[in-house]
């Protein structure tokens, strides 16, 4: 999410806030979590419905002298295990204030893993990002990192800065309350152009840099968490951000772009054991090497009893186990 600009301390923003404030509704009601694309076989697993953004944003933000939180927020699934790729983070689901990835490495703003780097990412995400920077350069796209891993404390200061600049109601549309930011996972980066249109320019979403990322980031395991369009905003709970990219691994990234769902909905479905979603435009995307796309089961004729057909199990790429000894960022 939004880039961190030397954020002001939380205490400086508190005079501008009420201790408990409501928020305006955003977006439309969300259907059940087992959402599938048109023409795809129904879910075989009952997935509980995810809370609609319009309902979440009615909840009060509670602010004290030492913390900021959303009323009723709960800890997301999977954060204590290697399932970080499918963890849903939104205004409802959060990480604990003490959560910190265990395998952070330094990376430079030019995307090179180096002890001299000023940013931090999980090793797997950093390696993938470095490869993406190299490929982008071949296409004359010069990327740069604007923000990467943020601790709970850093996100608290970042959110307070945006509240001070634009007020609570606007800030919560574009900045995550601490604990709810994907940056805390250590797998998310904000990316801009080294020589082209700045990320803050309204024209950035249609710039060569942004368009290249839209077409190619998934090949390296990155997905855009907050796509444009009122329907997508209503489902992702935040405003469109062409610079915000989360690493989920190549297989998941391919499935997400193939499904045409916003990542929040797709990951909720996957996190709760739902079937893989096969979108109508999968042929437009390049699957990872060795990936097997599952096929939806055909619907039997009404006059015949359904005949179970074997389902080919998709090939799963091995997930690297996190390093036990954490690297402490500055």
CATH number of the domain bearing residue 233? 3.30.1380.10
Encode 24-61: b = buried (16+ Cβ within 10 Å), e = exposed.
eebbeebeebbbbbeebeebeeebeebbbbbebbebeb
DSSP 8-state class, residue 207: S
The domain in which residue 68 lies consists of 10-284
pLDDT in tens, the chain (330 residues): 654 443 333 333 433 333 223 333 222 322 333 333 333 334 566 888 999 999 998 898 888 877 788 988 988 876 555 678 989 999 999 999 999 998 999 999 999 999 999 999 999 999 999 999 999 999 999 999 999 999 999 999 999 899 999 998 888 888 899 999 999 999 999 999 999 999 999 999 999 999 999 999 999 999 999 999 999 999 999 999 999 999 999 999 999 999 999 999 999 998 888 877 777 778 889 999 988 866 554 444 444 444 444 433 333 333 333 333 333 233
Residue 325 belongs to a domain: no
What's the pLDDT at 265? 94
Is 0.85 topped by the overall pTM? no
What's the pLDDT at 197? 96
Residue 241 belongs to a domain: yes
What's the pLDDT at 108? 97
What's the pLDDT at 168? 87
Residue 249 belongs to a domain: yes
Residue 293 belongs to a domain: no
What's the pLDDT at 276? 73
What's the pLDDT at 274? 81
Cite the beta strand spans of the chain per DSSP E. 20-21, 61-63, 68-70, 74-75, 93-94, 104-107, 119-122, 143-147, 188-193, 222-224, 244-247
Residue 322 belongs to a domain: no
What's the pLDDT at 177? 93
- Split into its structural domains, the chain has a count of 1
What's the pLDDT at 1? 60
Strand 93-94 and strand 244-247: pairing?
unpaired
């Amino acid at each position: 999410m939004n880039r961190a600009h030397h954020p002001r301390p939380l205490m400086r923003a508190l005079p501008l806030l009420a201790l408990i404030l409501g928020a305006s509704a955003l977006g439309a009601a969300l259907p059940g979590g087992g959402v599938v694309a048109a023409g795809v076989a129904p879910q075989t697993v009952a997935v509980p419905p995810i809370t609609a953004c319009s309902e979440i944003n009615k909840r009060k933000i509670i602010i004290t002298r030492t913390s900021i939180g959303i009323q009723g927020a709960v800890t997301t699934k999977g954060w204590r295990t290697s399932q970080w790729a499918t963890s849903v983070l939104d205004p409802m689901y959060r990480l604990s204030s003490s959560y910190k990835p265990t395998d952070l490495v330094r990376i430079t703003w030019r995307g090179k893993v180096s002890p001299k780097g000023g940013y931090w990412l999980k090793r797997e995400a950093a390696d993938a990002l470095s490869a993406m920077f190299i490929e982008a350069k071949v296409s004359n796209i010069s990327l740069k990192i604007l923000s990467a891993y943020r601790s709970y404390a850093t996100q608290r200061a970042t959110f307070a800065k945006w509240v001070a600049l634009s007020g609570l109601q606007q800030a919560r549309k574009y900045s995550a309350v601490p604990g709810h930011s994907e940056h805390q996972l250590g797998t998310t980066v904000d990316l801009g152009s080294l020589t082209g249109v700045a990320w803050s320019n309204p024209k950035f979403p249609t710039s060569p840099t942004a368009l290249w990322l839209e077409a190619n980031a998934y090949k390296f395991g990155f997905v855009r968490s907050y796509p444009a369009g009122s329907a997508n905003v209503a489902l992702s709970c935040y405003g469109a951000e062409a610079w915000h990219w989360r690493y989920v691994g190549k297989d998941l990234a391919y499935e997400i772009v193939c499904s045409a769902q916003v990542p929040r909905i797709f990951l909720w479905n996957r996190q709760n054991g739902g079937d893989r979603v096969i979108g109508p435009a999968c042929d437009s995307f390049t699957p990872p090497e060795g990936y097997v796309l599952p096929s939806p089961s055909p619907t039997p004729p009404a006059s015949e009893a359904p005949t179970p057909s074997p389902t080919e199990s998709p090939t799963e790429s091995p997930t690297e186990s996190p390093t036990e000894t954490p690297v402490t960022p500055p």
